[in-house]
Structure 1
């Protein structure tokens, strides 16, 4: 049996991968420096608690556009050429980075300007994420899509590893440099996206009621129990198992390893995820994919508990690396199932709902972890979160038997061939 081709053998996918890698490095470099500048500027006139509150607001400002625009951006990704949506979003991010670079160069950065640009970055992210998710299945044959998803996740994880330290190093050299380099990376991503050739238009009814079509995306997620189970499993597992939000506390007060140890703790999950992504790019999953996703989430919860109980840095790092690998396995299976079990004309709207769930689990998970830590302490909060993730896995395996029964990434023939019936206007 001939080995399937690599996704990189397709020029459009190579351009897509380079665009995602470049944009992710730029985004991660900017996020670190925006947070630093917000806190630094706020501390000139505010007490530490008030300045920390301003720092927390930056995350909220970036999440709100995603929350408000979910239905619109999903419908747009199914209605308009997804390449141009991604290109426009990347250009908006380049404009934001260029504006921040100019303000840093002229020493005119202010808190209102940072909040405004953070909101614009949230808008760009809201449009880019579902468009890019829906675009990738148009670039490779469906039989190698899971491998392409693993490689695409590698681009994101690699950018998450490289971006923050790059931003910090450039900022120490010159305050405008991280934004200037990010501008160049975003323009590089735009150039790569321009290299992607035409894609088939979706079969979305152009005469139908747009609002009804937006709602249809939510109806599809609700009625397709495999998709709903996969998305909601990630939401609740990550929402409860938010150990990474507690890393500064563990580094300073529990493991007592200082800022240097904090850097290692933040790096460990990304390295575990990258390692798992590399493995799947060479050895993609073929059987019992749903059961393996459930086991991955259970392992995620178990190592979260072990991390909470650990007082030895090497063990803590090992737990976080396994946590990152388990999360990567879950993401790999979830994204493959969602993309392959969703018709092309629905992928933008379903991708927008998935993005909202994932972002909600990250932002709300950090808030939940912080609130619980304030009530019962960080160790108890992390252990309780790990137990919660395991409980969610058990419940979802019972409530969504479709997850257990997903043997391969190939959808049933009836689902593959049947057209999606958009609701009447």
Structure 2
């Protein structure tokens, strides 16, 4: 590494470690993400196991996808008030209320599972409650982070935030696979403990977490957030590219199906598959944390989305566990690259009083790409089968990359992330 790069990297990394409140925020993000990953694995596997008792593979895959739709609908309906609340109220208190709601919903599911009365409708209802909580959690969490670090450290802090998510995404699916191997109830009770740790970390943050409230009615503030995203074409292009690429290429939603009926590797293999994308994403996040992108950001972003599509196609046709995991790792690394660039662009150009509303709009796009992507994968799997659905998604992601490169030339030519 050139000497001038080393001189820039090392002090910034050390400076982050001196930010006590940011470290607490990072810990809450890691434990919360770890819990979310275990919960996602457990609910997906639990739904598929319940459905397969009376339904075909295709119908069961469809119901797994319905979890994503159930979680997304509240996010879509609540996004505008959630963003406005994050820009008007103490963001730390919003996070604490959301985490409390998540504990209540998971506790309900844990008790029902322990007593043997869990059902498909109950899983869908809990997914909807979880989505409602996440609708408010996402903008408050995204907006709180930049309040805890100096602006010059923001790009590096974003990389470390992503690293918290990705390392939790490695440990979470693996732990979730082991826990559901015992029983889904074990997984749900573990999730509750992790959410309690996240609550403790948030309560220890000392800095003021209430934003400077802008004048105007609540409706006017909501509309202002939408207008800002629409007018900032680079921001709109970045989040919409992620929306459609991941919406079509959501192969991870089908992992329970691939693990059980395509690769035949069981719950343990399912946990390994779920960890695959996070392993690749963590490697890229570590590299970005030490070597932030300085030039040609737009080119890197489009290359990452294209590689995401190619890796999805490889995963679709693979029949070996090692190749499937490798394809998922490449998929995760490529997605991490595009996510890092998108989040950095949004945070750098958005003023703090608007971060909650802009983050809420962004969370809808992210939620649509993830949760609706799961639903889309379930629907296509019912028509084409799981392999056909994954292959369709990979080709679709490549198509979207080419179209967006033509529709948003400013995004393609975006250069510096400083």
Which TM-score applies when normalising by structure 1? 0.85
Q: Name which of 142, 149, 153 aligns with 1:144.
A: 153
What is the aligned partner in structure 2 of residue 338 from structure 1?
A: 346
**Structure 1 residue 160: Cα displacement:** 2.2
8 Å contact kept, 1:240–1:368: yes
Q: Name which of 22, 33, 41 aligns with 1:32.
A: 41
Judged with a 3 Å threshold, the aligned counterparts in structure 2 of structure 1 residues 372 and 220 are, in CA distance, closer, same or farther, namely: same
**Structure 1 residue 330: Cα displacement:** 0.7
Deviation string for 1:82-113 (max 9, x for gaps)?
Answer: 11111111121122233444445555656655
Q: 293-302 or 217-226, which moves further after superposition?
A: 293-302
Structure 1 residue ranges without an equivalent (≥5): 411-425
1:236 aligns with 2:244: yes
Distance 1:90 1:228 in 2: 29
1:214 aligns with 2:222: yes
Q: Name which of 276, 288, 291 aligns with 2:296.
A: 288
8 Å contact kept, 2:172–2:275: no
Secondary structure of the corresponding residue to residue 79 of structure 1: coil
What is the aligned partner in structure 2 of residue 65 from structure 1?
A: 74
**Structure 1 residue 244: Cα displacement:** 2.7
Distance 1:249 1:110 in 2: 19
5 Å matches for 1:160-199? Answer: 160-171=169-180, 173=182, 176-199=185-208
Distance 1:112 1:384 in 2: 29
Q: Name which of 6, 12, 21 aligns with 1:5.
A: 12
1:385 aligns with 2:393: yes
**Structure 1 residue 204: Cα displacement:** 3.4
What is the aligned partner in structure 2 of residue 413 from structure 1?
A: none
Higher-Rg member (1/2): 1
Deviation string for 1:283-308 (max 9, x for gaps)?
Answer: 22222222211111122122233333
What is the aligned partner in structure 2 of residue 74 from structure 1?
A: 83
What is the aligned partner in structure 1 of residue 356 from structure 2?
A: 348
Deviation string for 1:131-178 (max 9, x for gaps)?
Answer: 101111111122221221121112222222222343444455566433
Aligned length: 408
Secondary structure of the corresponding residue to residue 284 of structure 1: coil
Structure 2 residue ranges without an equivalent (≥5): 1-6
Judged with a 3 Å threshold, the aligned counterparts in structure 2 of structure 1 residues 298 and 52 are, in CA distance, closer, same or farther, namely: closer
Judged with a 3 Å threshold, the aligned counterparts in structure 2 of structure 1 residues 310 and 77 are, in CA distance, closer, same or farther, namely: same
If asked which structure has higher relative contact order (CA below 8 Å, sep 6+), I would say 2
What is the aligned partner in structure 1 of residue 4 from structure 2?
A: none
**Structure 1 residue 369: Cα displacement:** 3.4
1:155 aligns with 2:164: yes
8 Å contact kept, 1:277–1:328: yes
8 Å contact kept, 1:19–1:192: yes
**Structure 1 residue 354: Cα displacement:** 1.0
What is the aligned partner in structure 2 of residue 133 from structure 1?
A: 142
Q: 243-252 or 65-74, which moves further after superposition?
A: 243-252
1:274 aligns with 2:282: yes
Distance 2:160 2:310 in 1: 27
Distance 1:98 1:378 in 2: 32
8 Å contact kept, 1:58–1:118: yes
**Structure 1 residue 127: Cα displacement:** 0.7
8 Å contact kept, 2:180–2:186: yes
Distance 2:230 2:55 in 1: 46
Judged with a 3 Å threshold, the aligned counterparts in structure 2 of structure 1 residues 380 and 112 are, in CA distance, closer, same or farther, namely: closer
Secondary structure of the corresponding residue to residue 5 of structure 1: helix
